[in-house]
Amino acid sequence: MSLEEIRKIRLDKLETVKKAGFNPYPAATSRTHSAAQAVAAFSELSQVNQKIVLAGRVRSLREHGGSTFAHVEDGTGLIQIYFKKDELGEERYKFFLENFDVGDFIEAVGVLFQTKKGEITLRVSDFKMLAKSLLPLPEKWHGLTDVEERLRKRYLDLIMAPEIRELFVKKNIFWQSFRNYLLERGFMEVDTPALETVPGGADAEPFVTRYNALDMDVYLRISLELPLKKLIVGGFEKVFEIGKIFRNEGISAEHLQDYLQLEFYWAYADYETLMEFVEAMYKKMIQDVTGGLVTAFKGQTIDWSGKWPRVDYFELANRELGIDLEKQSRDELFALAQKHNLNPEPHLGWGRLVDLIFKKQIRHKLVQPIFLMNPPVEIEPLAKRLENNPRKVQRVQVVACGTELGKGFSELNDPIDQRERFEEQMKLREQGDKEAQRLDEDFLIALEYGMRTLTNKPGKN
C-alpha cells in the first residue's frame, strides 16, 4: 500500500472520530503520571486500585480476540496498556480498534496490574485521542537506513531511535556541566552579537546576510572571541559565552555550518594555568555525562583519569614523520603534502602546510588525551609567540579520539604585533585563502587602550 493510500485511510478515520463527537486534537490532557512514574509507583497504586491517567504515542498494537495490548511511549519510556472488550463495551472497543493506529497519541485511564510475564500494564477503562497520526512511522530497519534522510528528518530519527534521544539528553548535561563549572568559579556568562561588520576570531569563511535598515552587508559570526576580548578590555576579568557560530564551509563528521560553542576568557592567567583548569573541567564534564572517566571510542578504550601528557607539536610531528618540519622550506613542505596526496592548495604558506600535514598524517593516531602545544604562528594569529621561538605560539589543544576537542592560548595583547599579524592574514586572503582572518580595526583600537594578560578556551575550531 502506498503512503498516499495509507494517508487517505487515516484521514477517513480522522473524520469518523470527529463525527462521533470527539476532538482528535484536544488542547489539554488529564495525565497524572508519566510512564516512568507509573512503573515506579506500581506497588502503591496497585494495592488500592487507584485510577491513573497516562498519555503518549502508540508504538505497537497486538489484538487477541476480545482484547488488545498496546505499548505507549512518552518522554520517560514505554508502558503497556490493555483494552478488553468485556470491560470497555463492544461499541467503545470497536471504536478503538477501527480508528487508532500506531503513531497516534492517546490518553488512557485505568488501573495498573501485572501480567503473567511480570510486565506492569494499565487496564484501560476509558481513553481518548490526543493527536491522529496521518503518516505511518517508518520501520526501524527499513525506513531510516538512509543517513541523509535521517538527518533531514531528524524528528523521525528521534521517534524511531531511543539512542539518538539519549544523545540529546547527554548533550544537555554536557553544556550544563561546563556552565556550572565556570559559574561556580566566578566566571560571568554574557551574550554577544551574532551579526558582525567584520568577521573574526577564527580561520573560516562566513555567511553573508543583508541588514536592510542600514543598507549594508553583515556577517554571521564565525567565533565568539573578539567581542569577549573587548569585554576584558572594558574591565571584566572572567567571562564566558555559550553561543551559536556559523561557518560557510564543508560538512564533515566534525564540522557543521552552525553549531554551539563555548569560549571563556580569564585575565591574569596564561596557557600553563589554562591546562590545569581545562583538564579538571573536562574530567568533571566527562564524569557528569558518562558516569566515569573511562569511555569507549570506535572499539578503543579512552582513559581520561590520569594526568594528560603535554606534547610539543613539532617534536611529535618530527618523531612521527622522521623529518624536522621546522627545517623544511615552504616548497619542500608543499612537495611533501603532494607526496602524501593531501591536495594542498597553491596559496598555502609555510605554517598552514605544516598544519595540513600534521592533521592528515598524525592527528588521527592520537587516541588517548593529550595537550598538544606550540604550533606555528601562522595558524594562530591571535596568540602570543613563544619567547624563545617566535615561529611558534603559546597555544594548546586538547586532542583525543583522533581529533581536536578544544583549544586555548595565551592571548596576544600587543597591538603592534596584532596589527602585523592581521596584515599578514589579509595578504593571504588576497592570495586566495578565504579562511584567513580579516583585519578588525575596532578590535585593534580596543587593544591600544590596553588589554591585560589573559588566557582563553575557545571551543573546537
User: What would the pLDDT profile of 42-73 be if each residue is shown by its tens digit?
Assistant: 999 999 999 999 999 999 999 998 999 999 99
Question: pTM for the complete prediction?
Answer: 0.87
What is the distance between the alpha carbons of residues 218 and 242, in angstroms, rounded to a whole number?
21
Question: Is the confidence at residue 411, as pLDDT, over 50?
Answer: yes
183 has pLDDT over 90: yes
Report the pLDDT value the prediction gives residue 161, as an integer from 0 to 100.
Answer: 84
Kindly report, residue by residue over 185-222, the tens digit of the pLDDT.
Answer: 999 999 999 999 998 888 888 999 999 999 999 999 99
Per-residue pLDDT, 244: 96
- Right CATH number for 3-137 from 2.40.128.20, 2.40.50.140, 2.60.40.1890, 1.10.150.120? 2.40.50.140
> Rounded CA gap, 314 and 12, in Å?
70
Band of residue 20 on the pLDDT scale cut at 50, 70, 90 = very high
Q: For 297-310, what is the mean pLDDT?
A: 96
458 band by pLDDT with thresholds 50, 70 and 90: low
In this predicted model, what pLDDT tens digit does every residue of 256-285 receive, in sequence order?
899 999 999 999 999 999 999 999 999 999
Task: Give the tens place of pLDDT for each residue, 98-157.
Answer: 999 999 999 999 999 999 999 999 999 999 999 999 999 887 544 456 677 777 888 888
Mean pLDDT, the chain, integer: 93
**Average pLDDT of the segment spanning 335-361:** 94
- Contacts of 429-433 with C-beta under 8 Å, sequence gap 24+, read 431/347, 432/345, 432/346, 432/347, 433/345, 433/347, 433/348, 433/352
Q: What is the rounded CA–CA span in Å between residue 217 and residue 195?
A: 10
Task: Answer whether residue 372 shows pLDDT above 70.
Answer: yes
Q: How far apart are the C-alpha atoms of 390 and 386, rounded to whole Å?
A: 5
